[in-house]
Chain A
Amino acid sequence: MLIEIKNMTKDYSLGNDIVVPALKGINLAIDKNEYVAIMGPSGSGKSTLMNILGCLDTPTSGHYYFNGTDVSAFDDDELSTMRNREIGFIFQNFNLLPRLNALQNVELPLVYAGVAPAERHDRAIKALERVQLAHRMDHKPSELSGGQRQRVAVARALVTNPGILLADEPTGALDSKTGEEMMRLFHDLHSEGNTIIVITHEQDIANYANRNIFIKDGMISSDTINPNPTIAK
Chain B
Amino acid sequence: MQFSENITLAVRALADHKMRSFLTMLGIIFGVASVIAMLSIGEGAKREAIAKYQDLGVNNIIIREKNLSDAELEEVRARFSPGLSLNDAAVIMDVVPGVDKVAGQAELSAEVKYTDKTVKSTVIGVTADFLPMMNLKVDKGEVITQRQYDERLKVCVIGAGVANSLFQSENPLGQMVKIEDQWLEVVGVLQSKTLFTETVGELAARDMNTDVYIPLTTFLNRFKPTNTLTSQIQQITVQMDGSGKLVESSKLIDEILKRHHWKQEDYNIVIPYELLKQEEKERQIFNLLLGAIAAISLVVGGIGIMNIMLATVTERTREIGIRRAIGARKADIMSQFVTEAVVISIVGGLIGVILGLTLSLVVSSFTDVSTYIRLYSIVVAFTFSVVVGISFGWLPAKNAANLKPVDSIRYE
B336 CB to closest chain A CB, in angstroms? 11
**Contacting pair A54 B330 (CB below 8 A):** no
Nearest B residue to A160, CB-CB: B327
A112 — nearest CB in chain B belongs to which residue? B327
> What 1/0 flags go to A77-107 for Cβ under 8 Å of B?
1001101110001010001110100000000
The answer on a CB contact under 8 Å between A56 and B406 is: yes
CB <8 Å contact, B322 and A95 = yes
Q: Does A169 contact B (CB under 8 A)?
A: no
Any B CB within 8 A of the CB of A46 = no
B327 is contacted by which of A57, A85, A91, A97 (Cβ under 8 Å)? A85
Neighbouring A residues of B327 by C-beta, 8 Å: 80-81, 83-85, 109, 112-113, 160
Partner pick for B326 among A57, A89, A99, A114, CB 8 A cutoff: A89
Q: Which residues on A sit within 8 Å (CB–CB) of B5?
A: 111
A156 to B323, CA, bound (A): 12
Shortest Cβ distance from B332 into chain A, in angstroms? 6
* Residues B326 and A112 in contact, CB atoms below 8 Å apart: yes
Q: Which residues of B contact A112 (CB under 8 A)?
A: 1, 323, 326-329, 332
| Chain A residues with CB under 8 A of B2 | 114
- The one of A95, A96, A108 that contacts B409, using a Cβ cutoff of 8 Å: A95
Is B116 interfacial (CB-CB < 8 Å)?
A: no
- Interface size of B in residues (CB-CB distance below 8 Å): 23
- Is A76 in contact with chain B by the CB < 8 A criterion? yes
B9 to chain A, nearest CB (A): 9
Give A55-73 as 1s and 0s: 1 = Cβ < 8 Å from B's Cβ atoms: 0110000000000000000
Give Cα A108 to B319, complex, Å. 12
> A83 to chain B: which residues have CB within 8 Å?
324-327
Interface string of B310-335 (1 = CB under 8 A from A): 00000000110111111111111000
One of A76, A97, A109 near B330 (C-beta < 8 A): A76
Dominant SS at the A interface?
helix
Docked Cα-Cα span, A25 to B330, in Å, equals 30
B405 interface residue per 8 A CB criterion? yes
Asked whether A99 and B12 contact (CB < 8 A) given A56-B409, A112-B1, the answer is: yes
Please determine whether A91 and B409 come into contact, CB atoms closer than 8 angstroms: yes
Q: Do residues B326 and A84 form an inter-chain contact, with CB atoms below 8 A?
A: yes
Considering only residues 147-199 of chain A, those with a C-beta below 8 Å from chain B are: 156, 160
Q: Residue among A57, A95, A160 with the most chain B CB within 10 A?
A: A95
Chain A residues within 8 Å of B13, by CB = 99
Measured between alpha carbons, how far is A78 from B324 in the docked complex, in Å? 12
Say yes or no: A77 contacts B1, CB within 8 Å: no
Chain B positions within 8 Å of A85 at CB level: 327
- Determine whether B248 belongs to the interface, using a CB cutoff of 8 Å to chain A: no
30 contacts between A and B (CB under 8 A): A54-B325, A56-B405, A76-B329, A77-B329, A80-B324, A80-B327, A80-B328, A80-B330, A83-B324, A83-B325, A84-B326, A84-B327, A85-B327, A91-B409, A95-B318, A95-B321, A95-B325, A95-B409, A97-B319, A97-B323, A99-B12, A99-B13, A99-B16, A108-B326, A109-B326, A111-B1, A111-B5, A112-B1, A113-B327, A114-B2
Residues of A in contact with B (beta carbons under 8 Å apart): 51, 54, 56-57, 76-77, 80-81, 83-85, 89, 91, 95-97, 99, 108-109, 111-114, 156, 160
**CB within 8 Å of A: which residues of B?**
1-2, 5, 12-13, 16, 318-319, 321-332, 405-406, 409
